[in-house]
């Protein structure tokens, strides 16, 4: 067969397959962005694509903003945290933040409030030891979480004057509810007979938050040991309240 004829036959056979392959799937947004930026640095193009704002609303957007806030607070500290930096990390616009929070103080408080555990709702487990253990395990896990790391960074950095608003938040959101829950546990235990009636006092309830603050502020520990809750209950609290 003549070479030119053979070539034409091969082209005709390949044509439909090539057309089908070309129409198989549209390019992805990332591929379009990269192909439309011919001549630019691929790394720069990819970075621009990955930092473009993402359309989210409601709880999804709020969760992304809170996660970015805690990450920025932990990695850079409160002084370096900015609304612009949080918006960039959350891949949203600054306007989305300023519509909800007038300052980074309000943003940080809401981010912590949304992620720190609430000490209410400890069920009646039949023993004060079991109930106290469950409560303290919740806070031990919180200290080892992103919210705990952010709170540790915040408390270690702020001056006394700056810390006032955050101190009020910690007292009202964490310490007082924790003490109220401990008193409820101790009163239940006193009714069952596994807690001394005179042990259900505010002074005894102060021991748990005081021990956690000691770990953070005095010892400078960002995390607690896995057996911390058990040791605190069995070595400190149970001997203190035993009937």
The closest of 192, 178, 191, 182 to 240, measured between CA atoms, is 182
Whole-structure pTM value:
0.69
Extract the tokens encoding 109.
């408080």
- Strand, helix or coil at 27? coil
- Of the candidates 122, 120, 134, 126, the one whose C-alpha atom is nearest the C-alpha of residue 194 is 126
Q: What share of the chain is helix, strand, coil (3-state, %, to 5)?
A: 70, 0, 30
Token pair listed for 178: 């924790």
Domains in the chain, CATH or no CATH each? 58-114 (1.10.10.60), 120-241 (1.10.357)
Lowest mean pLDDT among 26-35, 69-78, 122-131, 156-165: 26-35
The residue among 99, 72, 66, 97 whose CA lies nearest residue 85 is: 72
pLDDT at 174 exceeding the cut of 50 = yes
Residue 191 token pair: 């009714």
- pLDDT tens by residue, 178-204: 999 999 999 999 999 999 999 999 999
């Amino acid at each position: 067969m003549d070479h030119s004829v053979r070539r034409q036959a091969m082209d005709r056979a390949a044509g439909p397959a090539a057309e089908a392959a070309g129409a198989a799937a549209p390019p992805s947004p990332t591929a379009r962005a990269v192909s439309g930026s011919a001549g630019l640095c691929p790394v720069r193009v990819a970075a621009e694509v990955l930092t473009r704002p993402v359309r989210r609303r409601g709880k999804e957007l709020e969760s992304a903003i809170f996660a970015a806030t805690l990450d920025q607070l932990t990695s850079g500290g409160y002084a370096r945290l900015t609304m612009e930096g949080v918006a960039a990390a959350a891949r949203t616009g600054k306007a989305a933040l300023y519509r909800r929070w007038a300052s980074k103080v309000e943003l940080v408080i809401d981010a912590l409030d949304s992620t720190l555990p609430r000490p209410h709702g400890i069920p009646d487990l039949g023993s004060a030891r079991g109930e106290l253990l469950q409560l303290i395990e919740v806070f031990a896990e919180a200290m080892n979480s992103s919210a705990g790391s952010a709170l540790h960074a915040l408390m270690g950095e702020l001056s006394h004057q700056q810390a006032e608003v955050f101190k009020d938040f910690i007292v009202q959101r964490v310490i007082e509810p924790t003490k109220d829950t401990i008193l409820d546990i101790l009163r239940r235990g006193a009714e069952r007979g596994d807690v001394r009636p005179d042990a259900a006092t505010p002074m005894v309830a102060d021991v748990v938050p005081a021990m956690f603050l000691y770990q953070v502020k005095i010892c400078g520990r960002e995390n607690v040991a896995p057996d911390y809750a058990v040791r605190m209950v069995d070595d400190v609290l149970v001997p203190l309240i035993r009937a």
